[in-house]
Amino acid sequence: MAMSWRYSILGDRHRALGSNLEDWNGMGVAWTYNHDINEDHAAIRTKAGLMDVSGLKKLHVTGPHSHAILQYATTRDVSKIYPGKSAYATMLNDRGMFVDDCILYRTGPNAWMVVHGSGSGHEELQRQAMGKNVSIEFDDDLHDMSLQGPLAVDFLAQHVPGIRDLPYFHHMQTTLFGQAVMISRTGYSGERGYEIFARGADIHAVWDGILARGAAMGIVPCCFTVLDMLRVESYLLFYPYDNSPEGDSLWELGLDFTVSKGKTGFRGAAQHDALKGKERIKIFGVLADSNKAVEAGDELLADGRKVGTVTCGMFSKLTGKSMALARLEPAHAVQGRKLRVKGANTDCAAIAHTIPFDDPQKKKRAAMG
């Protein structure tokens, strides 16, 4: 494991499952366990799986000016986010280019939690907080588990009153197995799922309780790397793996929907608007004629010319399909466009394919009842 500066209290549970705890975002995470990753993928798509996603960074933003700095630093109109609601947002630099994404959780009138990955979100908020009446606290004691899959709600409904009524992108303060938790109707799977936040002292009880009580329903611990399989199917980007070092616009990434309708005045707003129609690439899907996953970095060719690059690939044993996310020239990001994938371990025909591959109407993740 690389030199990590953050510590997951669940590390002992991951080691017992065969993980060497590889570094992500400064924390040792369970990249793999001692079983086939396809079992994890099948569990989340057909039953439910539990993942430790504590490597995400949690920031508490509180104080009278918390609203103002989030309104400027993110693309969402935070005045529309009430306590108990959350929203997926992006952050831009002065060139209007993407620098991070996050989920904004409003926990009170002047209180927010911002959860982000490996981008510069923390630094961006600290920069905006200078000279303002606001506090930004990095909370590494708060651990984050993700219970994802079609049976997740059935399991939680046995233990958490009202969970079936929690709408998509909302959260609630409650208890689980006697421990105080915050449960959020969010996740990174494309399935109906929940993120469960608990303090370090309580996390073992919650993790162990879910796995022990959920075993009869087929709920199993799942490794971090299965997220790559899920995100390819569900069009979920992972900074910086799908991004260019030079920066990308929201138009190129397909994230322009994160700008609230009519919102202006956020950082990089004018530059973002000016970049519309000037896309150099487009994030798009690739369906490969192969019985294995294509690899990140594989070239995409059309008429013998490179027109794109694979950013992440996966092969699903459930569907028998080899799918990938890719950075494609806009002219080739068209459903059915013939391509060829070439790389060190790959040489096969393919077509450009619309995304998401799985549940294109996104009905599963937002289902109620």
Residue 283: predicted pLDDT = 98
Write out 76-100 in H/E/C secondary structure.
Answer: CCHHHCCCCEEEEEEEECCCCCEEE
Q: Which residues of the chain have pLDDT under 50?
A: 1
**Beta-carbon neighbour count of residue 137 at 10 Å?**
10
- pLDDT tens per residue across span 291-320: 999 999 999 999 999 999 999 999 999 999
Residue 82: predicted pLDDT = 98
Residue 4: predicted pLDDT = 83
d(CA 76, CA 58): 18
The whole-model pTM stands at 0.97
Query: Which residue do the tokens 């992440």 mark?
Result: 312
d(CA 26, CA 56): 10
Q: 226 burial class (0-12, 13-18, 19+ CB within 10 angstroms)? A: buried
The structure tokens listed for 133 are 């009446």
- Averaged pLDDT of the chain: 97
Q: 215 burial class (0-12, 13-18, 19+ CB within 10 angstroms)? A: exposed
From 278, 282, 267, select the one nearest 325 (Cα to Cα).
Answer: 282
Of all residues in the chain, the percent with pLDDT exceeding 70 is 99
Residues 6+ positions from 343 with CB-CB distance below 8 Å? 294, 295, 297, 298, 299, 310
Residue 2: predicted pLDDT = 53
- pLDDT tens per residue across span 56-98: 999 999 999 999 999 999 999 999 999 999 999 999 999 999 9
Residue 353 identity:
H
E-strand spans in the chain?
Answer: 22-24, 27-29, 49-52, 57-62, 86-92, 98-108, 111-116, 135-138, 142-148, 171-176, 179-184, 193-199, 220-221, 282-288, 299-302, 305-316, 321-328, 338-343, 346-353
d(CA 33, CA 304): 40
